[in-house]
Chain A
Amino acid sequence: MTALSVPTTVHPLLRATSVCLLLLALTIFLALLSMSLGAVPLSLSQVVDGLFGGADAFIINQYRLPRVVISLMSGAALAVAGLLLQGALRNPLASPDVVGITKGAGLGAMLAVIFLPPIWQVWAIPVGVVGGAGLAAGLLLLIGRGLGGGVTTLALVGVAIGALAQAAMQYLMVRFPGGIDQSMVWLAGSVYGSNAGDIRALSIWLLACLPAVLIVSSMLDLSAFGDDSLTSLGISPGLLRAGMIVTAVALTAGAVASVGSIGFLGLLAPHIARLMVGSRAVHLLPATALVGSLAMLLADLLGRLVALPNEIPAGIVASVIGGPYLLFLLLWEARRRG
């Protein structure tokens, strides 16, 4: 794991707090800005007014707020999932999409929508997403253990799993053109059309994940020291790693079920957060979640602005921005070693 340490002249807690507050302010501003844009442009004051039941409350509450809230929650979930995966696999290249979990979740959702009987349809997507994400993660670990290779090998294995899931999804789309309208969304990853029901579902899911997130991330610092120190502290390294991965999979599944496969966000956010607040988990966790929210909000906003009057799905924007970062990371690692 690349420990990008920060200068210790500023007190870390002070630094982390101020960074988080800054991120929070930026997020709130972007959220308001995002809500002001649309078919009916509103001013920022109209937006704030609408939020508190003013004249434009209907547009805000029915269309724009759900979209923003879903962006914030899914972005945070993917970012924290990336953080946990990077910790668990001790691999700076890990993130839910790079290692194929996101695509596996999408495939699971498609399979469930197509093959589960009609009375199951309400549960089809969540069940499919959790199953698919879990299967992809299991496959990754199984193959990863067999490989025993370095960080790049594991990432490549994930890429292969993702490519397989992608091809299978394309196969299903051609083979069962009837039931794919919903599933198409996962391929691109979009927050378009989010509603209050989505918010309720995702927030319940994330709240259920929260205890696990807090427990495993409190041990994130310890896990960086290596298996021996963990064992000497009476913590099973295998168990901890499994807990981190399961939590990451659960977070990813929640995000993918509501917004689809968003590329590179889970990779990027923990790195940016680490650059800003250092690598202590207490500081890193909130900063990562905030960076993730901010990034998702930004991706959605850019996607709506860049090609007016059409919308580019947030997932595409995230890939275009996040992909080059992976390149940078690879080169930076290479230079550091070489």
Chain B
Amino acid sequence: MTVPLLTSPPIQRDARRSIVVGVVLLALMAAAAIASLMVGAAGLSLERSLTALFFRDGSVDSALIHDVRLPRVILTILVGANLGVAGVLIQTLTRNPLASPQTFGINAGAALAIVICVVSFPGVALWGMVLPAFVGAAGVGFLMWVLSLSGAITPMKLALAGISIQLVLAALVQGILIANNAAQDIVFWLAGSVTSAQWPKVWVILPFTLLGISTAIAAGHHFGLLALDDSTGRSLGQNARRVGGLASILIVVLAGSAVAVAGPVGFVGLMVPHIIRRLAGEDQRTLLILSALGGAALLVAADLAGKLVGYPSELPVGIVTALIGAPAFLIITWKHRTR
């Protein structure tokens, strides 16, 4: 199936529009972030939270902002950006509108590897969860690649295959947790959550986010190559393969590190690229930058909604993104239906 949305005509007038979209997304993200600093078990006024943020005076409010809420907001921004960019890359790489780290089972692969690691080595450090996450993500990625090679499997079928891999891996995770009586500890993480965010988690994901997203943006114009049809891609041969390899590594790193700190948060990587493409056109580099912003804005807003909706108890952010994302998934399926 050719995906009309993914062919990329270079359109100049999109540039101004992209800037506007970028500014709006930044503003949304900032607003949600500030609101998120104010909301919690103890509500703070706007003035109070901003004062506590900028003047670290040793007060309780200041400690709350700096040690609990700020790391959470920053972590949420990083995870959202990772997932948004990973979503663009995987959709471009597979030319599949239903592709995302979640629907292709990449998140679940990372989660399974982490759970196996945590259960086998109970004292494993936070850093120690990143490598298994990469291995798990890469394993499922490889499996999906093998599946995609087999015969004339349509994008829809590939997505269904990815989803069934995801379901099986999730069931395996559940089984392992029950078998080891470890459910209590990890169940919140499994729903996709930033609740227990602390600075160490930020430091774990930050290098991968910075390196991964900047590499993706730097190589952005090459990724356009992947969106071309097969014959054109083949004539560019070697180069296309190398770009595809780079994209795969970036997907694994971005999605894997996100899962390691926040659990398998779904639907962000699926929705964001579609929305951004709609708003700002097809240029790969713009798409990558704006999807990073959009993913961050979406996840911060979702986390805020999760805090507000069940106040004073909290909803894991992964549940909020699933509630929004499942209908979005439906709409995307509808738009790209095959006969």
What's the dominant secondary structure at chain B's contact region? helix
| A175 engages B179 (CB within 8 Å) | no
CB distance from A89 to the nearest CB of B (A): 15
Residue of B164, B170, B316, B339 ringed by the most chain A CB atoms within 10 A: B164
Q: Which of A233-256 contact B (CB under 8 A)?
A: none
Q: Determine whether the beta carbon of B334 is less than 8 Å from that of A146.
A: yes
In the bound complex, CA of A152 to CA of B164 (Å): 13
Within 8 A of B (CB), among A257-286: 263
A interface size (C-beta, 8 A) = 49
Contact residue among B164, B179, B313 (Cβ-Cβ distance under 8 Å from A307): B179
Instruction: Determine whether the beta carbon of B168 is less than 8 Å from that of A323.
Output: yes
Contact of A320 among B175, B266, B316 (CB under 8 A): B175
**In whole angstroms, how far apart are the Cα atoms of A263 and B170 in the complex?**
12
Contact of A79 with B by CB under 8 A:
no
Whether the pair B168, A168 counts as a contact (CB closer than 8 A) is no
Q: CA A156 – CA B164 in complex, angstroms?
A: 11
How far is A156 from B333 in the complex, measured between Cα atoms in Å?
Answer: 7
With A335-B151, A338-B151 known as contacts, the answer to whether A316 contacts B330 (CB < 8 A) is no
Contact, CB under 8 Å: A323 / B165: yes
A65 CA to B8 CA, complexed, in Å? 63
B154 interface residue per 8 A CB criterion:
yes
| Chain B proximity of A40: nearest CB distance (Å) | 22
**What is the bound-complex CA distance between A226 and B319, given in angstroms?**
42
- Within 154-212 of B, Cβ neighbours of A (below 8 Å) are at 154, 156-157, 159-161, 163-165, 167-168, 170-172, 174-175, 178-181, 191
Residues of B within 8 A of A (CB-CB), count: 47
Q: Which of B38-46, B64-72, B320-328 is near enough to bind chain A?
A: B320-328
Chain B residues contacting A315 (CB-CB under 8 Å) are: 171
How many whole Å from B148's CB to the nearest CB in chain A? 10
| Partner of A263 from B147, B167, B338 at Cβ < 8 Å | B167
Q: How far is the CA of A147 from the CA of B332 in the complex (A)?
A: 11
Q: Any chain A CB within 8 A of the CB of B15?
A: no
CB-CB under 8 A from A323, the residues of chain B are 164-165, 167-168, 171
Contact present for A313 and B327 (CB under 8 Å): no
Q: Which of B172, B174, B314 has the most chain A CB atoms closer than 10 A to its own CB?
A: B174
Interface string of A306-338 (1 = CB under 8 A from B): 110011110111011001101100110111011
Q: Are B171 and A319 in contact (CB under 8 A)?
A: yes
Asked if B171 and A263 make an inter-chain contact with CB atoms under 8 angstroms apart, the answer reads: yes
Most chain B CB within a 10 A radius of its CB, from A167, A188, A307, A337: A167
Contact call B323/A168, Cβ cutoff below 8 A: yes
> Contact at B152–A334, with CB atoms within 8 Å?
yes
A175–B310 touching, CB < 8 Å: yes
Cβ contact within 8 Å between A150 and B171: no
B151 to A159, Cβ gap below 8 A?
Answer: no
Q: Is A153 an interface residue (CB 8 A)?
A: yes
Does chain B have a CB within 8 A of A93? yes
Name the one of A143, A150, A326 contacting B164, with C-beta atoms under 8 angstroms: A326
- Cβ contacts A289-311/B at 8 Å (1 or 0 each): 00000000000000000110011
Are A330's CB and B157's CB within 8 A?
A: yes
> A60 an interface residue at 8 Å Cβ cutoff?
no
Q: Which residues of B contact A326 (CB under 8 A)?
A: 160-161, 164
User: CB of B29 within 8 A of chain A?
Assistant: no
Question: Which residue of the partner chain, among A156, A307, A319, contacts B168 with CB atoms under 8 Å?
Answer: A319
CA distance A153 to B150 in the complex (A): 20
Tell me how far the C-beta of B193 lies from the nearest C-beta in chain A, rounded to whole angstroms: 10
3 smallest CB-CB distances across A and B, nearest first, come from: A338-B152, A323-B168, A307-B179
Q: A143-B330, A174-B313 are in contact. List 10 more A-B contacts (CB 8 A).
A: A148-B337, A156-B156, A170-B319, A307-B179, A320-B175, A323-B165, A324-B164, A324-B168, A330-B153, A330-B157
B-to-A contact residues, CB < 8 Å: 98, 147, 150-154, 156-157, 159-161, 163-165, 167-168, 170-172, 174-175, 178-181, 191, 266, 309-310, 313-316, 319, 322-323, 325-327, 329-330, 333-334, 337-339
- Give residues in A with beta carbon < 8 Å to B: 93, 143, 146-150, 152-153, 155-157, 159-161, 163-164, 166-168, 170-171, 174-175, 177, 188, 263, 306-307, 310-313, 315-317, 319-320, 323-324, 326-327, 330-331, 333-335, 337-338
